[in-house]
Amino acid sequence: MKEEQGDKHTKRYGMVIDLDKCTGCGACMVACYAENNVPFKKNETDKLDSLNWIRIFQLTNGRSYPDTEICYLPMPCQHCDGIGKHGHPPCVSVCPAIATDYDYSTGVVSQIPTRCFGCRYCMAACPYHARKFNWWDPVWPADTEKYLNPNVSARMRGVVEKCTFCFHRYQQARDKAYLEGRDEIYESEYQPACAQACPTNAITFGDLNNPDHAVYKLKNSPRAFRLLERLHTNPKVYYLSSKSWVRRAGDNYLENESRPESNRQKIHHK
């Protein structure tokens, strides 16, 4: 957990999800399952023990017809920067065996399944339920094992796993850049599977610190908000919505407490 601040190459990869564009189709979930060798159950009715690294919630404004409004909200790991300086997400410092780490060069919160011994403290710490536990041994239907992604290790029973922002793709992009004699990778070279699979381009991914990347501008949109900002988890997943009730649904407020406009200021990163 050594800090590498002040490095001009320090990146903070993040995601902006435009909820106005999301149709709730689930393509991001399917792509994630396939890309990351995520096993599935015969019956996926109970989502509380599914290994879905990205989930889609259906939000409603609670009004009756004809004023009913629906919004679909995909939720991957929020890759929190945490309280204070970046590097203190809720889940990382609690892990007793350093099986999860904050990568200061990219801002990605990693998970090391071969180090994890399954105490599940990180799951208790994460308010987003982004961390999933392997309650069973991974089993794939006949022959589908042949189609597993060779770039991602399958996990075993009894360990925690989570969205990695497809970190293996970052490593591949870095390798490619190195072979081509480049220091930097292009925005298009590192994109997670969910962002690429989204048919409406609702998911945008890139370096939040890089003014040339699309996410840099999008995160400063007046439509932008993040989930549970008041807990100071400081996530790197931003959402965009033109509807105020959706933006308000992103956090907890006391009765009669309005969503302070200053909250929008907080999401602007220095």
Instruction: Of 224, 210, 233, 221, give the one whose Cα is nearest residue 12.
Output: 210
Q: Does 119 bind other proteins (CB under 8 A)?
A: yes
Query: Taking a C-beta distance cutoff of 8 angstroms, is the pair 172, 135 a contact?
Result: no
Nearest distance, CB of residue 225 and other proteins, angstroms: 12
Q: CA–CA separation, 191 vs 213, rounded Å?
A: 12
Q: Does 33 bind other proteins (CB under 8 A)?
A: no
Q: Does 87 bind other proteins (CB under 8 A)?
A: no
Q: Which stretch binds other proteins (CB under 8 A): 13-21, 49-57, 141-149, 174-182?
A: 49-57
DSSP-assigned states of every residue in 4-39: -TT-TT---EEEEEETTT-----HHHHHHHHHTT--
Pairing of strands 237-240, 13-18: parallel
Q: Is the backbone of residue 235 left (phi > 0), alpha (psi -120 to 50) or beta?
A: beta
Site string for other proteins, 154-183 (x = CB under 8 A): --xxxxx-----------------------
Q: Does 69 bind other proteins (CB under 8 A)?
A: no
Pick from 233, 237, 241, 247 the residue near other proteins by CB under 8 A.
233
Could you tell me the CA-to-CA distances from 42 to 27, 141, 155, 158 in Å, in that order? Answer: 19, 9, 18, 19
Query: Taking a C-beta distance cutoff of 8 angstroms, is the pair 32, 54 a contact?
Result: yes
Nearest CB to other proteins, comparing residues 139 and 214: 139
Site for other proteins in 136-155 (CB under 8 A): 136-137
Nearest CB to other proteins, comparing residues 95 and 202: 95
Pick from 20, 187, 189, 251 the residue near other proteins by CB under 8 A.
251
Q: H helices within 27-146, ranges in order?
A: 27-35, 121-125
Size of the site for other proteins (CB under 8 A): 59
Please give the residue ranges that form the binding site for other proteins (CB under 8 A): 1-2, 46, 48-50, 57, 59, 73, 83, 90, 93-99, 115-129, 131-137, 156-160, 227-228, 230-233, 249-255, 257
